[in-house]
Chains A and B, each alone.
Chain A
Amino acid sequence: MINLNVGRSGPEEPAADDAVRDVVLSSNELSFWYGDTLALEGISLEIREREVTAIIGPSGCGKSTYLRLFNRMNELIPRTRIEGQVFFRDTDINHAGVDPVELRRRIGMVFQKPNPFPKSIYDNVAYGPRVNGFRGDLDGLVEQSLRRAALWREVSDDLDKSGLALSGGQQQRLCIARALAVEPEVILMDEPCSALDPIATTRIEDLIAELRDDYTIVIVTHNMQQAARVSNKTAFFMVNDNGAGILVELGITEQIFTNPSDERTEAYITGRFG
């Protein structure tokens, strides 16, 4: 088993720029196929610690596919193939020795549609720690996770209630609490607000702003304003002439939205194509 516990830096003050922030996730000349269909082509990208990186781009450009490569979710789909490497810190995550279950504990994921288990709120959050053999104060861990997900005040008296009885926005925060309970380093978010109303969306966005002090977050979103509001860095993907998703530009979010380097990014974010 390859040790994934390398290079996690301590709780020092969040760093100010790339020179001092460690690269947590990266891909190197990464291409990906669904059967014979090339979905992503030659993507090299670095995601740094305790930053929010947003991935934007038109439908079908492979944003979600790319996100799912970071915790090997795509291998659950038959006839897929990868070329190039994906790294979690210094580890090539597709190496035979890497345990995908442990990888997914370290790199949690929140999906487009809230998907709580048909269990109580408590059990939803406690599920991951129990499966991982957590020995300790489970009540404390559940409370801490719900607090971090900004849900504790709303559910503390109803922990036995079914997770499915919550509103959509609360369910999504429950799913975030569930992801946080196994103490991940990275949280991947695949359009986490697309099924939520504007108020619930604001709550999740506020939560992302709080979580970025402690976690590395990668968020795929169709909503450019959301990318602009929540992220430190923005990556723009589009489809090339081969029909495959490519990375056009990665930059500091302010720069991408005021003065992108690539004219294709400019055309997309000003709404002139895509």
Chain B
Amino acid sequence: MARTEYTQQLQQIQDDLLLLGSMVEKAIVRAVDALKDRDLDGSQAVIDEDDQIDDFQVELEEKCVDLIALQAPMASDLRRLITVIQVASELERVGDYAEGIAKISLRMGDEPPLKPLIDIPRMAELGATMLRESLGTLTDLNMEVATRVAETDDVVDSLYERIFRELFAYMTEDPSNIQRATYLIWIAHLLERIADRSTNIAERAIYLQTGKMQHFQ
């Protein structure tokens, strides 16, 4: 195999992307756990650690730009680097959503949640699974898995809609619920966005492997 060092650098970049993905997935899980457990320290830790995710994304993007400039990658190598840049950017945003959940959790402080949290942890679990599976398709494209990610996004969307309607009912019933309901709607919205971003990653995986852009409906 020619271009040994270059090939190793490409592999390192791909490994780094998966590492970034696992940092982000952990942030989602921890943000929602801290919300459920009313663990304010846990929420603060998610906020503090988001800087690491941001820095790592910038570092990864710089590595890709350097390799493009210095090695003139072509064909699947080029697609891989473009995909890494795009997916790293999606992951950075997902990290921000996790941070957003943690910030709302801090705002809620010691107040008890409006209602027992059932659908929100369910959304978080689905989102984290989608993220993990979509990242898996980057190294080993399995169209079934990619399609399942897109289908799960529909489930997350309908959960979001259900949560929204339910909380809306709470608000109209008693305006003193508005603040606490709004917090939960924000959180549900952020989780819905996480699922969307994971679907984008699955679409990028299809591009990486086939060279064709495909958007799931």
**Which chain A residue shows the least CB distance to B207?**
A259
**Which chain B residue shows the least CB distance to A260?**
B75
Decide: A258 near B72, CB < 8 A? Known: A271-B2, A273-B2: no
Considering the complex, which residues of chain B in the window 1-17 have a beta carbon less than 8 Å from any beta carbon of chain A? 1-3, 6-7
Interface pair A224/B74, CB less than 8 Å apart = yes
CB distance from B205 to the nearest CB of A (A): 15
Interface pair B2/A269, CB less than 8 Å apart = no
CB distance from B2 to the nearest CB of A (A): 5
Interface pair B2/A258, CB less than 8 Å apart = no
* Among B2, B78, B211, B212, contact of A272 (Cβ-Cβ < 8 Å): B2
CB distance from B97 to the nearest CB of A (A): 31
CB distance from B129 to the nearest CB of A (A): 30
**Interface mask (A230-274 → B, CB under 8 Å = 1, otherwise 0):** 000000000000000000000000000111100001100111110
B76: CB under 8 A from chain A? yes
Instruction: Tell me, in angstroms, the Cα distance from A273 to B79 when the chains sit together.
Output: 19
Q: Which residues of A contact B75 (CB under 8 A)?
A: 257-260, 265-266, 269-270
Q: Which residues of A contact B2 (CB under 8 A)?
A: 271-273
Interface pair A270/B77, CB less than 8 Å apart = yes
Instruction: Tell me, in angstroms, the Cα distance from A269 to B2 when the chains sit together.
Output: 12
**Which chain B residue shows the least CB distance to A271?**
B3
Instruction: Tell me, in angstroms, the Cα distance from A224 to B73 when the chains sit together.
Output: 11
Interface pair B74/A270, CB less than 8 Å apart = yes
Interface pair A270/B73, CB less than 8 Å apart = yes
A9: CB under 8 A from chain B? no
Q: Which residues of A contact B74 (CB under 8 A)?
A: 224, 228, 257-258, 269-271
Interface pair B76/A266, CB less than 8 Å apart = yes
Instruction: Tell me, in angstroms, the Cα distance from A259 to B212 when the chains sit together.
Output: 9
CB distance from A229 to the nearest CB of B (A): 11
**Which chain A residue shows the least CB distance to B73?**
A270
Instruction: Tell me, in angstroms, the Cα distance from A270 to B75 when the chains sit together.
Output: 7
Decide: A272 near B3, CB < 8 A? Known: A225-B72, A258-B211, A259-B211: yes
Interface centre among B1, B73, B75, B77 (most CB of A within 10 A): B75
Considering the complex, which residues of chain A in the window 5-42 have a beta carbon less than 8 Å from any beta carbon of chain B? none
Instruction: Tell me, in angstroms, the Cα distance from A182 to B6 when the chains sit together.
Output: 47
CB distance from A263 to the nearest CB of B (A): 10
Q: Which residues of B contact A272 (CB under 8 A)?
A: 1-3, 7
- Residue positions of A touching B, CB distance < 8 A: 224-225, 228, 257-260, 265-266, 269-273
